A and B are shown apart, each in its own frame.
Chain A
Amino acid sequence: MTDGPRVDRLLDPPYDAPDYRSSELRHPRRSLIHLAAGPTELHGPLFGHHRIEPSEADLIAQPTGEALGERIIVTGQLLDDAGRPIAGQLIEIWQANAAGRYAHEDDQHPAPLDPNFTGAGRCLSGPDGTYRFVTIKPGAYPWRNHQNAWRPAHIHLSVFGRSFTERLVTQMYFPGDPLLDLDPIYQSVSTAARRRLVSSFDLDTTTPDWALGYRFDIVVGGLLATPAEA
């Protein structure tokens, strides 16, 4: 065992989650070492110089035609844990198509592929931290974690804050999905924190005669837990 103060991240899921089978051989067994953030942890990359076109935030308007499915707009603010907007940072998303299949060679779910949907997009947050994607609502899909296991519909998000400590990869879910109660990945998060993974339907974002709107704010931060007993 490691000496020194031990810490846990209270708001993040544990590494060891027996109901999520893939974690069995991939979770550290030793306690985490407390790292007082130094200059390397308190800085981060900037991606503003990468050319990211506005079209990369639109997953449905492909050169070959429009993706099939229920059009949605996913928008929100990228914020730090003091509630301040984070401008100009990279947000990457990927997701299954409307039938619940990823355009990935390892996805063997026998649901149709959509030739007009790659399921990947990216953007930089705006001056007030706002981001916005146009996509289709992903389908639920089965996986082999346990008997008759299905993942709730979700969109994967990868975000950069201002520093290494603020890096976050997460998943956004949809309100009212009955599969949330049965999903060990969603359920791995504490009851109080889970709702922050669920987007909210938003009529103001919804575009008449065109697409439903969902809001999902993303809040990144460093360590919020206090050191536990050594």
Chain B
Amino acid sequence: MPRPTTPSQTVGPFFSLGLSWLDAGQLVDPDRSDAVVLDGRVLDGGGAPVPDAVVEIFQADAAGRFVPDTEPDWTGFGRALTDAGGTYRFVTCKPGIVGPSDAPHVDVSVFARGLLQRVITRCYFPDEAAANRTDPVLRSIADEAVRASLIARDTDEGLRFDIRLQGEGETGFFAC
């Protein structure tokens, strides 16, 4: 029988008590040849860093597979709490292709005080320009700036994916 869902409520300011036990910043061994640092800042509508956010990611493995069809130690899940500068950091790998014309992507959730429900976005890869052009989700977004907000930038260390919750450069957020 259909059941109405339990509504979301904010994660509040003290979530580290309940959520920091799970050490899930590294989805892959940093020494793996395809390991990549994926980091970024969470910023509010005034451009200030959000030091009390939880960023979670979920993705396919490098071969485009999900649990339980993956290696035993793979979850595809990452959780990182932002630091005083609003920065989160993961070590992961680029996921494989999961759909016919999909570009590689990582699903991202942000929870924070002030967010009554999480925001959801996708992080795409800057070295996948051709695939990004055919990806149905990116193609569905007409606004060039919004589309660009979903693509990580190359840095010396790896990939940077900043998440702007509001205002200028606001990240494209999804309902799904």
Digit string of B102-120 for contact with A (CB within 8 Å is 1, else 0)? 1001110101111111111
B15→A94 contact, CB < 8 A = yes
B28 at the interface (CB under 8 A from A): no
Q: Tally A-B pairs: CB < 8 A.
A: 253
A122 at the interface (CB under 8 A from B): yes
From B7, B13, B45, B67, give the contact of A26 (CB < 8 A).
B45
A32→B175 contact, CB < 8 A = yes
A219→B137 contact, CB < 8 A = no
B25 at the interface (CB under 8 A from A): no
Q: Which A residues lie within 8 Å of B142 (CB)? A: 2-4
Digit string of A13-42 for contact with B (CB within 8 Å is 1, else 0)? 111010010111111111011111111110
B6→A220 contact, CB < 8 A = yes
A26→B112 contact, CB < 8 A = yes
Choose the segment among B31-39, B55-63, B126-134, B151-159 that binds chain A (4+ C-beta atoms closer than 8 Å).
B55-63
Main DSSP-derived SS at the B contact region: loop
Digit string of B1-44 for contact with A (CB within 8 Å is 1, else 0)? 11111111111111111110110000000000000000000001
Closest A-chain residue to B97, C-beta based? A39
Interface centre among B5, B113, B146 (most CB of A within 10 A): B5
Q: Which A residues lie within 8 Å of B98 (CB)? A: 38-40
Q: Which B residues lie within 8 Å of A46 (CB)? A: 67-68, 75
A114 at the interface (CB under 8 A from B): no
A20→B114 contact, CB < 8 A = yes
A169 at the interface (CB under 8 A from B): yes
Q: Which B residues lie within 8 Å of A22 (CB)? A: 10, 113-114
From B44, B114, B176, give the contact of A165 (CB < 8 A).
B176
Choose the segment among A66-74, A185-193, A203-211 that binds chain B (4+ C-beta atoms closer than 8 Å).
A185-193
Q: Which B residues lie within 8 Å of A92 (CB)? A: 18-19, 21-22
A167 at the interface (CB under 8 A from B): yes
Given contacts A40-B107, A41-B176, A46-B68, are A120 and B17 in contact (CB under 8 A)?
yes
B114→A23 contact, CB < 8 A = yes
Q: Which B residues lie within 8 Å of A219 (CB)? A: 3-6
A43→B166 contact, CB < 8 A = no
Q: Which A residues lie within 8 Å of B113 (CB)? A: 22, 26
A28→B58 contact, CB < 8 A = no
Q: Which B residues lie within 8 Å of A81 (CB)? A: 2-5
A139 at the interface (CB under 8 A from B): no
From B109, B116, B146, B172, give the contact of A17 (CB < 8 A).
B116
Closest B-chain residue to A216, C-beta based? B6
A27→B7 contact, CB < 8 A = no
Interface residues of B (CB under 8 A from A): 1-19, 21-22, 44-46, 48, 50, 56, 58-60, 66-68, 72, 75-77, 95, 98-99, 102, 105-107, 109, 111-120, 122, 136-137, 140-143, 146, 165-167, 170-176
26 A-B pairs whose Cβ atoms sit less than 8 Å apart in the complex: A2-B146, A12-B116, A23-B115, A26-B115, A28-B165, A28-B173, A30-B173, A32-B175, A33-B174, A35-B120, A35-B137, A39-B66, A39-B102, A83-B1, A93-B18, A94-B17, A102-B14, A107-B14, A120-B18, A158-B19, A164-B176, A171-B10, A194-B7, A197-B7, A219-B5, A224-B4
Q: 7 tightest A-B contacts by CB?
A: A94-B18, A22-B114, A45-B77, A26-B114, A3-B142, A35-B174, A13-B116
